[in-house]
Amino acid sequence: MDLNALFQDHFSVKPMVKACAPGRVNLLGEHVDYNGGPVLPAAIDRAVNLVAAAQTGPIARLFALDLGKATAFRLDQLEKKIDLDGQPMPKWAHYPAGVAWALQAAGLPTSGLEAVYNSDIPIGSGLSSSAAVETVFAVTWEALGGWQIDRMQMARLCQQAENGYVGVNCGLMDQFASAHGVAGHALYFDTRSLDWEAVPLPPGIALVIADSGVRRSLSTSAYNERRAACEQAVQLLKQYLPAIQSLRDVSPVEFAAYGEYLAPEIRRRAEHVVKEIARVESAVTALKSGKKQSFGALMYSGHASLRDLYQVSTPELDALVAIAHDLLGCIGARLTGAGFGGCTINLVEESQASDFIQSLQQGYAAKTGRQAQVYLCRASNGAVADRVI
């Protein structure tokens, strides 16, 4: 699809900027971000691609190709969330509008623009399509405006857009990964300190993402219950470990000693978080040492913990992991994202990825009667915007 030609057909001018921002998959470190823990995502080679031109006047005109929808709104009336006709702004436009809102609040100019964009990131599958949209508009306004900020600040402004404008209380991992991706690498990201480093993935490895076909249904109440259980665990464990501020501060040895004083459900939730944080640290060591089988074992262990302790898996996700475990070339598999539907992430030998995908789809259909969409991905670079000559 030639976005440049489509842009010129739609707006009758030539584009000035082309931009791209990837989705992401989390390899390990689930439900630890709100406990101050480290995560291990990777940007993937499924992305939002955009072309744009600046225009005089404070108006943004957007055409979302994959949705087949267009809208326009004023950049000096963002708080009203209305389009040029005075009607409520469509929900999909809240993401780019929210980025402009956050950039303006930070004192960064956002020029009027015309933009056409398209995404091959499946919506609602846990691969951060919304963060990719936010990040691609952030780098576009940066390129058009001639200003520059560091990528962590950009990720935080995109998070502010989603928290404060869209109204979704997400963490920072998704925007961080889209902005900071490094080809061939996972990203170790400390959600407390915001320190990070790129960790090389083993050569000859593919990231295979399998969509269960069950849309994520993690209700607000279920999510809040788990967050509350973690907070309760911290308050109770402070009797024995007075210096702790979050479960990030509790070692597995300390939890083994004091976890028995927690009520059963709170203990299960906290045990997952404490051990998942330790798994992320062990995974980084395994990757740096080239021990891919050790990394795979940590993925399987992480899935079992999400299934049995945090209880956010589903029969469909469990089936995908069980089938993958027995297929040639599979190094590790687990659910990825919040759970209650969505996708699994599989680390697979690239030479056997094609057969793996076919066998996984066939096995899943036979076991569940459902069809799984399966995507062969690689770890990719983060968002970029370039001037069109």
> 3-state class of 253 per DSSP?
helix
Q: How many CB atoms lie within 10 A of CB 5?
A: 12
Contact status, residue 219 vs residue 233, Cβ threshold 8 Å: no
CA distance 3 to 51: 7
What distance in Å separates the CA atoms of residue 282 and residue 184, rounded to the nearest whole number?
19
Active-site residue flag, 174: yes
Residue type, 259: G
| 3 state SS of 199 | strand
Radius of gyration of the chain, Cα coordinates, nearest whole angstrom:
22
Measured CA to CA, the distance from residue 57 to residue 286 in angstroms comes to 53
Element (H, E) at 136: helix 129-145
Q: Which one of the listed residues 33, 174, 211, 249 is annotated catalytic? A: 174
CB 51 within 8 A of CB 7: yes
Q: Is 329 helix (H, G, I), strand (E, B) or coil?
A: coil
Q: Measured over all CA atoms, what is the biggest interatomic distance in the chain, rounded to whole angstroms?
A: 69
| CB contact at 8 A, 50 and 60 | no
Q: Which residues are known to be catalytic?
A: 174
